[in-house]
Every structure is written in structure tokens, then in C-alpha cells.
Chain A
Amino acid sequence: MKFQLIFDIAKALLIARWKQTLVAAVGVTFSITMFVALLGFMNGLNNLLDGLILNRSPHVRFFNEIKPNPDQPIEGFYGEGMNIIRSIKPSGGLLKIHNGGAILENLKNDPRVLGVAPKISLQVFYNVGNIDITGVINGIDVQAERSLFAFEDYVTEGNAEDLENISNSIILGKGAADRMLANIGDVIQATTASGDRFRLRVVGYYQSGLQDLDNVQSYASISTAQKMLGEPSNYMTDIQVKLNDFDQSPAFAREMGPIFGTQAEDIQMANAQFETGSDIRNMISYAVGITLLIVSGFGIYNILNMMIYEKMDTIAILKAIGFSGLDVKGIFMTIAIGIGIFGGGIGLFLGYLLSMGIDQVPFETEALPTVKTFPVSYDPKYYIIGGVFSLLTTFLAGYLPARKASSIDPVEIIRGK
């Protein structure tokens, strides 16, 4: 088979009927454009929703929980029998993570760990006139929190860094601030569980998009929190860890919890319902993607099929003057794949443009303070799938009729005239 001749003939056939070629290519282009843009859009939204949880949650969290001592004194007297005791009270409400500084160092040196952020969680009352509003102040390491959990994304007003720069400062949850009528620059009063009163300057608002959270949570720097509790600078109640590999978190939690002598909770345990939601959304996007591909596949198949049947005469002539079935198949496969490459390539480009267009559409919602326009994913995966698919369908759409045309006697076509 002479590829050059076959290629030349295919090219001439394509160019001579360029309008028809264009119609066929536009069919492919349209399908691929829609596939790429729609899947990009859907996955952008999915990633946004996933990110809502994933970006803000540590992969593994170490903390102490107040619970009864597993080693009760009675077991010392009677051994490990079936000892029944009622009304056991938790002993020693020590939320502090023992030897926190060393644990931090240890975690930072672990190659699996992306980053570590210590945290103190303390219960307070905000004193507004003669009313007390309950709240939780999180003492955080601002730098670590910013790099690991995109903290500043949720600070809707004010500057996250002021927490460290201004002493005794606080970033109030938007809900709590609205209730207290506290503006930025105002000073509010908070009472700790142990009864100490503190004056804190509001330097910003925090808005996570979860109303319940925003009504309660506020943020201060870890040193401010330590000061409020009257604890030394190695005090911390939580250690949040982000791993390089998200999927390793259960194993990491199981391994490290007993070593550090703390509770260790991994993200998959903490957010089991999130996992389910995420899986379902993924399933939906796959279903939509496959449906799109099948529908566009049939479209492409139809167009090419018609194009080849229109060229039956040409097939008869080529066969009459000595081209074999294989040559004819080669010519029409080249035509089909040429349309696939041309139409698919433009489709990918237009899909990218359409994605960028969707990306510009305003999308503002209370719940998502950081999102201003519709999120779109530009994952190359979808472009690769789209590209391969356009080649594959045009190949099949060309192959089936070409195979049929190549195997019949030319006279069948001529006599049918």
C-alpha cells in the first residue's frame, strides 16, 4: 500500500468538498467542546465542594479527650476479672498534649508529613452588656494555618496577619460579630472558663460558610490563647497534621496515636459522610460524562457514515481502476481520522475557551466567601479523554462503513445507480 498516494487522495477528497468536511468536523468539534467544558465545570464545582471540607480539615488530628481512665484501681486489687463499677468519673481533665513541643518536632521531621499546626481550643463567654454569649476561641499558629488550611481565604475582612502583629487581638466569627455589633477596631470582652476576663481587639471577621460554625468560632494567635489560659508557651490541645498523601491518613493515625499517647483522628473517620457525598458526586459526573460521550459518539458516527455513503461512487471508481479494498479502507480511514484530529483539536481549544468563559460568570454566595465566579476545573485528564475519544469515534465511524464499502464488488455500486 502506498501511503503517500492514499494520503494525497484522502486530502484531495477532503479539500474538494470542504463544506461537507467542515460540517462533519463541526459535529466533532461541538461534541468535544461540550464534553470538555461541561466536565470541567462539573468537576470545578465538585472540587469546590470537596475543598470546602478538605482544605480546612487536618488529615490527622491529635488531641486528648476527657474520658474515664481505662486502668481503674480495682483491677490492681482483683486482677483482670469481670469487675463491675458504677458511676466512674473521668479523672484529671488534662486536655493538654503532653510534651507537645517534642511531638511537633518529631512530626515535622517525618517525611510523610506536609505540615503541622498546633492549636488551642478554649471555651469563652463574650460579654455583651449584661448578656454572655458562648463561644470558642481557637488559638492558632497563623503562618502554619495559612499555608496548610488557607486560613486567610476565610478572613473576609481585616488581615489575618494582624493576629500576630497586634497583641490581644481576635478575628471574630461573622455570626458572633453581627450579634455583638462588633466592628473592626472595636474592643470586646471575653471571660474564660476559669473566670478570667480579657479585653480583645477585633482585627477581622471569619466566615467559613457554615452558619453554626461562624456563630461560635473565633480565632486568636496561639500565644494570646496561652495568655488567656495562664499556660506556658508549650501548651497546646490539638496538633493538626497534613500529609503528603491524603489516603495514608487512617494508617498514620493508627500508627502515631499510641506513640504520642493521645487520641488520633483521621479525616476519613471524622468526615465519613463527606466521603459518601464526594463519591456520589463523582459517580454523577462520570455518568454525565459517559452519557455525553455516547451521545456525541453517535452524532459523529452518523455524520461520517453519511459522508462515506455519499462517496460510494468514488469508491466504485477507485476500485474499478485498480485500488484494492485495503486501499479504499485506508483512504476513508485517513479522511475519518483527519476529521477527528481537525474537529477534535478545535473542539479541545473551544472547550478551553468555553471553560474560561464559564470561569468569568459571577457566582457569589454568602456561604462561600472566597468564590466570586463559577469554579471550573482545567484538569488535563478531561482534555486527554476528549482528544482520545474524538479519534476513537471517528476511527470507528470511518472504519465500519469503509470496511463494508471495501468488501463489495464495485459493480454492486455501479449497477445500483
Chain B
Amino acid sequence: MEKKTVLEAKSIHKYFYNPTKAEVLKGLSFSIKAGEFVSVVGKSGCGKSTLLYILSTMDTDYKGELWIDGEPMRKSSPTYLSRIRNEKIGFVFQFHYLLNEFTALENVMIPGLKLGKYSKQELEHKAMEKLRIFDMADHATKKANQLSGGQKQRVAIARALINDPLIIMGDEPSGNLDKKNSDIVFGIFQELAKEFHQTLLIVTHDPDFAAGTDRTITMEDGKILDE
């Protein structure tokens, strides 16, 4: 059986206008199928983060076509896009980007509360389970700013998973961590891909990390060099 296409991009162009008009992405096209663990590598400044922000619908200022789960994203309203982000995309930043005002557990729960598919009790249960997967259950009631960098990143991944998204996107999720924590994070992604058949799209500049994925897209100067 042919696997479903989760994400498809067709000739994505992106320009920066400040200070002068510069083309950062020069017509990228590729697609990702369900269950794939894809990594994007390339030198710093080749546009891989920019690409990821566009794919995650957080940046709407681009040319080209983007489909997520078969739906076109190009002309959708910001409100609809935020719903897509909430429901179908889990995003992990290079920096954790947790809400410091809330506990680890609450941070994980908030996207779920926003989606409103489950009751608060169910969500709490679900969020605890996710934290348990990452050995973070003991720290559930701590405020986000009381956690270490590696712990924060694990909470951020748990948050990305709470709504069982179609695809998880990571922008150098281990880039800001030491070797040990970076291995833990990589291990988590491996596990998600293998055991839960989670679709993953991870931007990284770590060749070891890329080597462990199903498929590596190499970018250079705004173009895809090889797959």
C-alpha cells in the first residue's frame, strides 16, 4: 500500500527584503510520506531554518505551494493556519520556548486545552504519560524556568506530541544541548520514529544525527543539493 503524503512543497521561493532583496530559497520542491524520519542538513545560512518555518506555516510570506495532509496552505486564513499548527504540527525549537509562567505539565497540556478534543482530566493524564516517556514525570510540577536545558527540551518535545500531530518538526532541537542531552533527544526521536511511526522532519547540522535518519535532504545556498 502506498503511504500517504503528509507534506508536499512545490517550488518554494523566499525573499528577504532587508537590507536588499535577497533570494534565500530558490524553488524547493519535495514531499514527505507518513512515517518517514527526514533530516535536513546544510551549512549555516543556507536557508534550512527559513524553510522549516515556512513548512510549519509560521511564516506566510513566501512564493510557491504547500500542502499539509492534502490541504493547500497557501491561501488559508491565519486563524485556519493556527488551527493546523495546533492540530497537525508539533514544533520543537532550537531553544525550548516554554512558557515560564506555567509548570512543565501545564506547558504540555496547553496545546491540548486549545484543541479541546479531550477534557482537562484526560489531558492531564495524557500529558503525564508523555512526560513519563521522557523521564520527566518527577519534574511535572516544576515551573519551566526551574528545569535544566535538556529537561526543558524534553518537555518541549512532550508538548509537541500532546495532540498526536501528523508531523513533528524540529529546528536543531539538539543544537543548544551538550553531547549527553543531545543523545537523549536523538534517542527520543529515534524511538518516536520506530515505535510510534511518527513522521519527523528535523533540521540539524550534526552529521551523526542525520546519518541516523531514514532520509537526509542536503541543502546548499537555497537549493536542494541531493536527497
Contacts and interface: CB of A to CB of B under 8 A. Distances in A.
A319 to B, nearest CB: 7
18 contacts: A5-B110, A9-B110, A12-B106, A313-B97, A316-B97, A318-B99, A319-B82, A320-B58, A320-B91, A320-B93, A322-B82, A322-B163, A324-B78, A324-B79, A325-B82, A409-B61, A414-B53, A415-B53
A16 interface: yes
Interface string B95-115: 001111110001000110111
A323 B82 contact: yes
Interface string A58-95: 00000000000000000000000000000000000000
Contact of B102 (A2, A12, A313, A411): A12
A2 B61 CA distance: 29
A227 B113 CA distance: 92
A321 B110 contact: yes
Contacts of B159: 321
Interface of B: 53, 56, 58-61, 78-79, 82-83, 85-87, 91, 93, 97-102, 106, 110-111, 113-116, 159, 163
Describe A's contact surface by its main secondary structure: helix
Contacts of B78: 324-325, 407
A159 interface: no
Contacts of B93: 320, 414
A13 B83 CA distance: 23
Contacts of B83: 322, 324
Contact of A5 (B79, B99, B113, B163): B113
Interface string A77-115: 000000000000000000000000000000000000000
Given A322-B86, A322-B87, A324-B83, 8 more contacts: A12-B102, A13-B101, A15-B101, A314-B99, A318-B99, A321-B91, A322-B82, A325-B82
B82 A16 contact: no
Interface in A260-317: 313-314, 316-317
B58 A2 contact: no
B101 A2 contact: no
B98 A410 contact: no
User: Considering the complex of A and B, which 4 residue pairs feature the smallest CB-CB distances, nearest first?
Assistant: A322-B86, A16-B101, A324-B82, A411-B59
A327 interface: yes
Contacts of A318: 99
A320 B97 contact: yes
A326 interface: yes
A318 B113 CA distance: 12
B15 to A, nearest CB: 14
B225 to A, nearest CB: 24
Contacts of B163: 322
Nearest to B100: A16
Contacts of A323: 82, 86, 114
Given A314-B99, A317-B99, A322-B85, A411 B110 contact: no
Nearest to B52: A411
Given A16-B100, A326-B79, A321 B58 contact: no
Contact of B111 (A314, A322, A326, A414): A322
B91 A2 contact: no
A409 B110 CA distance: 20
Contacts of B53: 411, 414-415
A19 interface: no
Contact of B59 (A2, A326, A409): A409
A411 B101 contact: no
A327 B111 CA distance: 12
Contacts of B100: 16
A226 B61 CA distance: 97
A321 B111 contact: yes
Of A320, A326, A327, A407, the most chain B CB neighbours within 10 A belong to A320
